[in-house]
Structure 1
């Protein structure tokens, strides 16, 4: 399926993230009076928006909305395959602003990226409820669909924040900084702006090994790159033969820094795991086995017999008078 960093782009390539200056008034929502249908689409967000348009065009509510690769047909009926139409998808995406604000609309895109099994029907039910309510429904937590959308949005925010914090790059011999991740959700479109802005002076690649695609920044723009190989990748490491020769030293220096700023007496593993869950440790250099044994820095003055205790005054011994 096709992937993009923005849910919808205009024809000139500029993301349509803001509401138009004058939003058209609400129209009467089409009544879905025909028998329900099963719909199939290409798995892209633009494809799903095209399905939503066809639902109201055919006046037939969806029994199911399934990606083409996971279609399960019935005994007597096959799903209706809907071809993606970008202009139609853009029309639907902009039209949603008549019934919800921009933040609520963004939550629908985040729900799609969450890869929940019933995400398509959930998005349809939320959009349909918003169009028929005639008011803002984002705070109507008595409704199960609104409550689930809000919960998924919170999960996506946490995953996005952790990926931005825990990604660790390795430098290759040709100057490319590479990182492999395996997030629970498809968060690459959400973290792209952060890394593009923060690491704008170096080429980098972030690869999602579960979804077999990545983000590549070439000092000019960030693009989606696909990997066609079907060979499973069992490790997050890349071959040592393509790494910069100084990379092992960088890793050792980072581990040494982490060990020396750590305070063993204040160790609290329960709190530590709450802020850095175990499943993220595979990305962190400081959590990898040590190649050299840790030795604390010996920079404290020992207490001499009969001498002053540490911290009781000047560290320099007093000269005897006379």
Structure 2
């Protein structure tokens, strides 16, 4: 195995890389696509585009690192917009956000197909395995996006910020931010992805009646707060959670409980971040009282 720099000159034969490693960002992947055509590697049937954080070295492969280049990424983006249109680019982006191990290669095959056949509606050709795989992946990402928009629970903090923790299967923060930005323009709020170590923050002080504030990216939050957000709950939040948990306990009808259906509509992996699913200190007492 050899790991090369993309700026090296490759000789014909085994030194030609059949794996391009890109920085784990959409711009990083676009830069890798640019380098494929710049280095005329597009005809290599074994070529793979893999995110650096998902690469597993192999003794029989030759890998090269690609440095993210904003200008190169922009050129590829403009080209793909012309070929695939806005809807097609959304599918490419959502597919990328799935973070599947082979998604970089799958998306490149679709890009190459679109470039080779510019007059075809390539994303409608479900007879091609990579197009079908993308369609199925986008469907899964869309489902996760919808669930995140429904199941996010904000908790009011002592800093007057509504804070929510999430742990989605896919990297959906970039595509759910607008949903919350449009709906909660009158308050400070933040959503933090524990699995990926970053979040989005909305600062209402930077908004105007006609222009909501831009979302900011936040990282490196206090681990103690992430593990125990109750430590920064405001007095009102503590009261609201007790009210809500009490309501949830009292409206439940034991005889009509359908756990299977409940889990189907609200998968259990979301429960640990839902305040109504937390154990109420006097839940047993309330149940006996009923």
Check whether TM > 0.5: yes
Count of matched residue pairs: 263
Q: What residue number does 2:149 align with?
A: 164
- 1:290-309 CA-to-partner distances (Å, cap 9, x unmatched) read 222336999xxxxxxxxxxx
Task: State the SS of the aligned residue for 1:100.
Answer: helix
**Closer, same or farther: CA 60–183 of 1 in aligned 2, 3 Å:** same
Q: Distance in 2 between matches of 1:45 and 1:144?
A: 22
Q: What residue number does 2:229 align with?
A: 238
Q: Does 1:274 align with 2:246?
A: no
**Closer, same or farther: CA 69–287 of 1 in aligned 2, 3 Å:** closer
Q: What residue number does 1:65 align with?
A: 49
Q: Distance in 2 between matches of 1:111 and 1:84?
A: 19
Q: Does 1:79 align with 2:63?
A: yes
Cα offset, 1:126, TM superposition: 1.1
Q: Does 1:222 align with 2:215?
A: yes
In the TM superposition, 1:55-204 aligns within 5 A as: 55-61=36-42, 63-73=47-57, 75=59, 78-133=62-117, 134-204=119-189
Tell me, which stretches of 5 or more residues in structure 2 are unaligned?
1-11, 207-213
Equivalent of residue 286 in structure 1, options 276, 282, 286: 276
Provide the TM-score with structure 1 as the length reference. 0.74
Cα offset, 1:128, TM superposition: 1.0
Cα offset, 1:81, TM superposition: 2.2
Task: State the SS of the aligned residue for 1:124.
Answer: helix
**Closer, same or farther: CA 162–69 of 1 in aligned 2, 3 Å:** closer
In the TM superposition, 1:28-39 aligns within 5 A as: 37-39=18-20
Q: Distance in 2 between matches of 1:282 and 1:113?
A: 24
Q: Distance in 2 between matches of 1:181 and 1:76?
A: 39
Q: Distance in 1 between matches of 2:18 and 2:180?
A: 42
Cα offset, 1:147, TM superposition: 0.8
**Closer, same or farther: CA 71–272 of 1 in aligned 2, 3 Å:** closer
Q: Distance in 1 between matches of 2:252 and 2:60?
A: 65
Q: What residue number does 2:21 align with?
A: 40
Cα offset, 1:201, TM superposition: 0.9
Q: Which protein has the larger Cα radius of gyration, Structure 1 or Structure 2?
A: 1
Tell me, which stretches of 5 or more residues in structure 1 are unaligned?
1-32, 299-322
Cα offset, 1:199, TM superposition: 1.3
Provide the TM-score with structure 2 as the length reference. 0.81
Equivalent of residue 51 in structure 1, options 32, 41, 64: 32
Any conservation in 1 of the 2:49–2:108 contact (CA below 8 Å)? no
**Closer, same or farther: CA 49–186 of 1 in aligned 2, 3 Å:** same
Between 266-275 and 52-61, the greater mean CA deviation after superposition = 266-275
